[in-house]
Structure 1
């Protein structure tokens, strides 16, 4: 009698089972052809029909798409578009805690995508991102699933080397069979090939979570909404949470969203945007390697703009340092703490202290700029909230020559949970 491993019929049967249990991996061109009609661009507008943001969305059911909530933030209306076809859309199920929003479109016939099995994501598997980076519709990028980030027994973030860029947020991350693994959400600026997506298995919970949140708010007594916002703001940050700031160029009026997303909590240290920013729980900066926040980051002192544990009105100190990001300029500044007052953040009144900065900046031996020896006046201010343990607003300006300089502000608008 032949051993079973030599039986051709057994091998044939096994092969048939494998063939029926696992779809063959698609070549990238075939995968793109299959999926491109299911990924659309999103455009948002304010009450005056002025453009706000651009993103992507994935069709998950007839007339239903999912995007990231931060793409829709502050929009009065929005549309989905592909090539020369545009549809008006409405918000159906918001889940800002996971940054996932389901939208609906009437008379919409685009084909829904298939979802990958829950919990099936594997580090090292080949993945593909499809979205609309920087307005370039229907863009495919290839990479690996490079990490499963999060805690509490669930993967709160999928890390990938597949390239994404502004405009990709809300697009799809697919496996080699063309099944949806996740919704792309952000990339770490200046952090190497580090990009992230929310797991697709969260989509099944989206309607229930959204309805539960709306029901809870409808049953709140008068005044509870303000207290709820305050609690949400003050809760400790967890992996997957994000700080959403708006950076404004005060010379041109251009406004840009800046997201600092928590990818890891290690004791009293929080890692943002794949480790490009690491802070203590009180907001003091441990390391900083990215200038995602413009001057807020590129001119940051060691420890950040509120580096002392017990700030009191009237405190003063002197700083002499070389910034670790941007042009790596040398700064000689004097800091002084003003009196306490209040500032509204995401609907809540917070006590804040204004820390003013005055001084000079110079080219240093580590910068790529010419060492001319000339100094440039620098002025800045940071508003620190002890309740949140972080800066909620920053302003800075300097002028170098007639064509170089900056005048910017950065303001916290909400915390995504």
Structure 2
């Protein structure tokens, strides 16, 4: 019977309209393959990395607006960087809106053209309805699973009206941050976790939470900024910590060391082990600094010339100002323990970017001679040394160092050490 013929029927009790409603509902529901074709292009995988670019976690994310995706905050925990990926296409991404209490984090991707999903109307989730999960379980991109919405649970994020979505659709590691869709391909929620040894007990955060992300993220970050320094609540999964925040044990300074003669690049990590009064111990005591950045000792020169030629106290002075000049005459405490005679000049301020943040830094130049040192004596013939540093008063440390030292005609060292990010 055609819908046009039904529309012409005049039946009592509104039966014509009931028939039309049922027909419309049937038309709106999609077959699983059609639903997958409609929304799978909007579900991407997320890959996270530590400070040495080693893989940490894999998860999923759903495109909810142009250049904006939502994933679970626990997917981003402890990551120094992360990307979104589909097939052979990869984009760098940054955290934009964190809501760790609800385990939802919005991320931003530049020049990203993947289509956004359609959001289901608020309150439309119904127990017993057919649902579909799309994610990347165990790295298997664009995996579709089917099930029922088996329950609506309260208490999410400490609010009684919050309704967690319980589903029988399969969710495995790597699915976190994927999409849970209704039969029309509309997003019902963000798949988040499965109960351990719980059979088909899988859960998703409801789509209604997405509208509250901007307000909740702003409130959380403002509350966090008011907490005392060193508070255990200041570090939350998926939340970017300002570069200028004091270091805490477990944090790491990630530099890259560049051999300017060969172009080879290698990571250099200074990991903070403990804080003892006003002293910071890195790399199991291999480098010890004062809280203000003054160098106490370097017994493990991981940073190459930056460490082996370091003056007592470090390359800059605490009272450093543009236009300052001073002379250095010292025997380096590590490496070959060579005698250095250097003239130091502080230039003006200039911009420098670290981890996407623009800093104002001071340029410091070094020029002089290095002598082979034996005991308390020294060779009378020196070799030329030229170096420079960019010092950030905001961070209280050098963000880039360059040095060139020529030991006669046969041997030369030319390298740079640059701060890439601070791993929190």
The CA deviation at 1:211 is 1.0
User: Residue 214 of structure 2 is aligned with which of 204, 207, 210?
Assistant: 207
Aligned to 1:98: 102
Distance (whole Å) between structure 2 residues aligned to residue 118 and residue 53 of structure 1: 31
Aligned to 1:343: none
Aligned to 2:204: 197
The CA deviation at 1:21 is 8.1
SS at match of 1:40: strand
Count of equivalent residues: 226
**Contact 2:227/2:234, CA 8 A, preserved across alignment:** no
Distance (whole Å) between structure 2 residues aligned to residue 216 and residue 150 of structure 1: 25
Aligned to 1:177: 184
User: Residue 61 of structure 2 is aligned with which of 57, 63, 77?
Assistant: 57
> Deviation digits for residues 275-298 of structure 1, max 9, x if unmatched?
xxxxxxxxxxxxxxxxxxxxxxxx
**Contact 2:83/2:90, CA 8 A, preserved across alignment:** yes
User: Residue 10 of structure 2 is aligned with which of 7, 10, 19?
Assistant: 7
Matching of residue 80 in structure 1 with residue 84 in structure 2: yes
The CA deviation at 1:212 is 1.4
Q: For the structure 1 residues 104 and 27, does the alpha-carbon distance in structure 2 shift closer, same or farther, using more than 3 Å as the test?
A: same
Distance (whole Å) between structure 2 residues aligned to residue 155 and residue 147 of structure 1: 13
Distance (whole Å) between structure 2 residues aligned to residue 229 and residue 79 of structure 1: 25
Given the two structures, how large is their TM-score scaled by the length of structure 1? 0.51
The CA deviation at 1:17 is 6.1
Given the two structures, how large is their TM-score scaled by the length of structure 2? 0.50
SS at match of 1:204: helix
Aligned to 2:112: 108
SS at match of 1:168: coil
SS at match of 1:81: strand
Mapping for residues 368-407 of structure 1, pairs under 5 Å: none
> Deviation digits for residues 300-329 of structure 1, max 9, x if unmatched?
xxxxxxxxxxxxxxxxxxxxxxxxxxxxxx
The CA deviation at 1:216 is 2.5
SS at match of 1:226: coil
SS at match of 2:138: helix
Q: For the structure 1 residues 222 and 164, does the alpha-carbon distance in structure 2 shift closer, same or farther, using more than 3 Å as the test?
A: closer
Matching of residue 148 in structure 1 with residue 155 in structure 2: no
Q: For the structure 1 residues 161 and 62, does the alpha-carbon distance in structure 2 shift closer, same or farther, using more than 3 Å as the test?
A: same
SS at match of 1:207: helix
Aligned to 1:333: none
The CA deviation at 1:14 is 5.5
Aligned to 1:246: none
Matching of residue 226 in structure 1 with residue 231 in structure 2: yes
Mapping for residues 240-259 of structure 1, pairs under 5 Å: none
Matching of residue 138 in structure 1 with residue 142 in structure 2: yes
Q: For the structure 1 residues 53 and 17, does the alpha-carbon distance in structure 2 shift closer, same or farther, using more than 3 Å as the test?
A: same
Distance (whole Å) between structure 2 residues aligned to residue 172 and residue 79 of structure 1: 18
Distance (whole Å) between structure 2 residues aligned to residue 125 and residue 31 of structure 1: 15
Cα RMSD (Å): 2.7
**Please, which moves more after superposition, 21-30 or 120-129?**
21-30
User: Residue 32 of structure 1 is aligned with which of 27, 31, 36?
Assistant: 36
**Contact 2:224/2:234, CA 8 A, preserved across alignment:** no
The CA deviation at 1:23 is 6.2
Q: For the structure 1 residues 102 and 221, does the alpha-carbon distance in structure 2 shift closer, same or farther, using more than 3 Å as the test?
A: closer
**Please, which moves more after superposition, 147-156 or 159-168?**
147-156
Distance (whole Å) between structure 1 residues aligned to residue 233 and residue 59 of structure 2: 29
Aligned to 1:120: 124
SS at match of 1:190: coil
SS at match of 2:216: helix
